[in-house]
């Protein structure tokens, strides 16, 4: 929950009161989020696709999911296409980034965001969000690799902890979904989070 003074500070800078619902509380609900982009450099990165799925309590609401292709200003080259499997003609049919971000914000509302190395995705999204809202994403953020670190540290303080995504899936006995698909990645992180919750680290 946002501290009241911080909430007031953000609300005072919100450009359009129509977006006040981004501060609404949704007890027991989260949104697992993943973005595929043209680059790992936040300054250069453009959105290619966005995947998100809601969680409520111990349930993953796969019927309440969102997947959008986004048309970047600069279409990806061969290496990037090989990673994401998104061809130029796929992206040519995608929506404009500003429209996709608006839909994402409406989907998220005030729910906390969950992700794997979520800081990167949020930084890329904020390039589009701040011009729209006047503020960056206000939602609380939950990093699944940090929860996993706490879980492993409790077991064996001081030991090396492998935070690679493949290791999280292996160690928590979660079948890894196909990678580099935004919705699959969001669903996979949701499953990891629920596995950690069952172990007391949600």
pLDDT of residue 78 exceeding 70, the answer is no
Tens digits of per-residue pLDDT, 125-141? Answer: 999 999 999 999 999 99
Contacts of 18 (CB under 8 A, 6+ apart): none
pLDDT of residue 142 exceeding 70, the answer is yes
Instruction: Give the pLDDT mean for 63-91.
Output: 72
pLDDT of residue 117: 96
């Amino acid at each position: 929950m946002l501290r009241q003074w911080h909430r007031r500070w953000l609300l005072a800078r919100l450009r359009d009161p129509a977006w006040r619902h981004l501060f609404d509380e949704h007890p027991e609900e989260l949104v697992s989020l993943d973005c595929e982009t043209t680059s790992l450099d936040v300054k250069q990165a453009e959105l290619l696709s966005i995947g998100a799925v809601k969680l409520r309590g111990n349930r993953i609401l796969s019927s309440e999911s969102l997947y959008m292709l986004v048309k970047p200003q600069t279409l990806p080259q061969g290496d990037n296409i090989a990673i994401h499997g998104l061809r130029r003609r796929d992206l040519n049919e995608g929506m404009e980034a500003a429209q996709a971000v608006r839909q994402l914000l409406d989907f998220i509302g005030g729910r906390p965001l969950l992700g794997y190395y979520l800081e990167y995705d949020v930084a890329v999204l904020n390039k589009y969000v701040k011009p729209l809202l006047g503020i960056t994403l206000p939602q609380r953020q939950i990093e699944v690799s940090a929860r996993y670190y706490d879980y492993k540290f409790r077991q064996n303080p001081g030991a090396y902890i492998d935070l690679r995504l493949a290791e999280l899936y292996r160690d928590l006995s979660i079948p890894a979904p196909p990678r580099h698909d935004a919705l699959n990645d969001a669903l996979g992180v949701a499953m990891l989070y629920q596995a950690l919750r069952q172990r007391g680290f949600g």
